[in-house]
Amino acid sequence: MSKTYYDPADLRKFGKISEWNQELGDKFFDYYGKVFEEGTLTAREKSLIALAVAHTEQCPYCIDAYTKDGLQRGITKEEMMEALHVGAAIKSGATLVHGVQMMNKVNKLEM
Amino acid sequence: MGKLKTQSLQKRDSDLANSNRQLEILSNGIFADGELPTFKDKISETNQFPLKAKKLEILQINVGYMCNQVCEHCHVDAGPDRKEIMTRDTMQQILDVIKTTGAHTLDLTGGAPEMNPHFRWFVEEASKVGVKDFIVRSNLTIIRANKKYYDLPDFFKKHNIHVVSSMPHWTRGKTDKQRGEGVFDMSIKALQELNERGYGMPGSDLKLDLVYNPNGAYLPGDQATMEKDFKKALLEDFNIQFHNLFAITNLPIARFLDYLIASENYEDYMHALVDAYNPAAVENVMCTNTLSVSWDGYLFDCDFNQMLALPVNSKSKHISDYKEELLEGRNIVISQHCYGCTAGAGSSCQGVVA
Ligand code: SF4
Ligand code: SF4
């Protein structure tokens, strides 16, 4: 067994998950491929969304994959960082908006 | 990323200036221990070994390795310190061959071909022979590098040269990082001058194409999408127009190989190339219809093999001894760098091939 939880070389083996359940694996990869095709949104826009979500999910594989994907598409590092701030803003916003729940609870419990 | 280098590998006495050393690296490690299949094994899977040359269509002439730039990714290891320059005698031998060959395209490359002192004479003489498509691969900055080159756009126009120029990105930052500080602004100015002469304008016969190759250890994106993005940005920001964009994959040789190894990207990059292997691209790799001539007149399957000192597998080895009937149908000399030509939609000096 490897001594760390994450190994960059494992990213290349992603496809192997189908080996233990071909049908669901195939369905997933079909779906995945379809999602990232050019649609109403461009593949470029989708790549930036994926990069932001990769960070909010804090998945090192996805971060590597979509950083490289962005470079391949000619996306600049300024665009990448801006996308990350969108993810970060939603993450922190989502934390803070729960503050309303906290305030409601305090108001309810306190005399 | 380290700071930009200003000398060729050869001048730096780098281990990698030696082509045998490069070939060793490309055959050892992950290819020797079976982690990745060799190119020969890979194309054998689809019965495409040996690769064979078809009818000659493109004659690509490397008139010398001297260049005003020292780009980090350069597969030629070109630079101001390189002294290999084609002589007029060799050019004359090439002119004699052009008269007899059926090739429809003549493609001048370097280094910066314009720096060869016999460049203009050669262009004048070769255009008299009347090839259909006469390409000069110009790095753009040369046009602005020195007063003596300022009239190049007019010279190109006079001889109806098809200009193919490298442009790694539509932003200054990315361009200068790959090609050197100030390169972006000079390239923009050169493109504007070419546009002023009618080059690259919609419907114009004066062809201006751009070459894009990634500035790092990743593969080029979809050529058509990149072309759209380049066109939009260059038009909006600088009012520049051009015809086609060729997306070219960096092959793991010379300075790009040096960079891959130094940045510890070599294995990942080779994996990416092999993963993206496309058997449909193999059919049309550049060497099947192109012949490359080196500054000293030797014949190679392509400019990459020239840099790896892998001569053609034919009895006709030198331009002075050029025999099309011996060269046609020859077996192409391959190694693992060839994966760079077969990744994704494929890659050649004319862009994608599949
Ligand atoms: S890539 Fe082209 S412009 Fe850059 S150093 Fe090499 S030959 Fe010169
Ligand atoms: S590197 Fe040269 S020999 Fe190899 S496939 Fe490409 S064009 Fe052919």
Give the separation between CA B202 and CA B208, rounded to whole angstroms. Answer: 10
In a domain, B38, yes or no: yes
pLDDT digits (tens, 9 = 90+) for B101-146: 989 999 999 999 999 999 999 999 999 998 899 999 999 999 999 9
In a domain, A73, yes or no: yes
The pLDDT of residue B198? 98
In a domain, A83, yes or no: yes
Mean pLDDT over residues B289-298, rounded?
A: 98
Size of interface A-B (CB pairs under 8 A): 30
CATH of the domain at A96: 1.20.1290.10
Please give the radius of gyration of chain A, using alpha carbons only, rounded to the nearest integer: 19
pLDDT digits (tens, 9 = 90+) for B148-191: 999 999 999 999 999 999 988 898 888 888 788 889 999 999 99
- How many angstroms does the Cα of residue B74 sit away from the middle of ligand 1? 5
In a domain, B88, yes or no: yes
CB atoms A74 and B169 under 8 Å: yes
Structure tokens at B97: 């061959």
pLDDT digits (tens, 9 = 90+) for B45-100: 999 999 999 999 999 999 999 999 999 999 999 999 999 999 999 999 999 999 99
What phi, psi does B26 have (nearest 5°)? -70, -15
Give the separation between CA B332 and CA B323, rounded to whole angstroms. Answer: 16
- Site to probe by mutation for ligand 2, drawn from B39, B40, B251, B338 as the one with most ligand atoms within 8 Å of Cβ, is B338
Instruction: Name the residue facing B218 among A8, A44, A72 (closest C-beta).
Output: A72
In a domain, B288, yes or no: yes
Confidence (pTM): 0.92
pLDDT digits (tens, 9 = 90+) for B232-271: 999 999 999 999 999 999 999 999 999 999 999 999 999 9
Kindly provide the ipTM of the predicted complex, given to two decimals. 0.80
pLDDT digits (tens, 9 = 90+) for B320-330: 999 999 999 99
Distances (CA, A) of A101 to A89, A94, A107: 19, 12, 10
Nearest atom, ligand 1, residue B179 CA: 4
Looking at the complex, does the CB of residue A43 fall below 8 Å from at least one CB of chain B? yes
In a domain, B3, yes or no: no
The pLDDT of residue B192? 97
CB atoms A72 and B173 under 8 Å: no
In a domain, A97, yes or no: yes
In a domain, B112, yes or no: yes
Q: Determine contact, residues B127/B159, Cβ cutoff 8 Å.
A: yes
Question: Which residue has the least CA distance to atom 4 on ligand 2?
Answer: B338
CATH of the domain at B22: 3.20.20
Q: Is B334 in the pocket of ligand 2 (CB under 6 A)?
A: yes
In a domain, A24, yes or no: no
Question: Which residue has the least CA distance to atom 6 on ligand 1?
Answer: B74
In a domain, B352, yes or no: no
Q: B 16-55 residues with CB below 8 A of A?
A: none
Counting the structural domains of chain A, the total is: 1
| Dihedral, CA of residue B115, residue B150, residue B108 and residue B88, to nearest 10 | -50
Counting the structural domains of chain B, the total is: 1
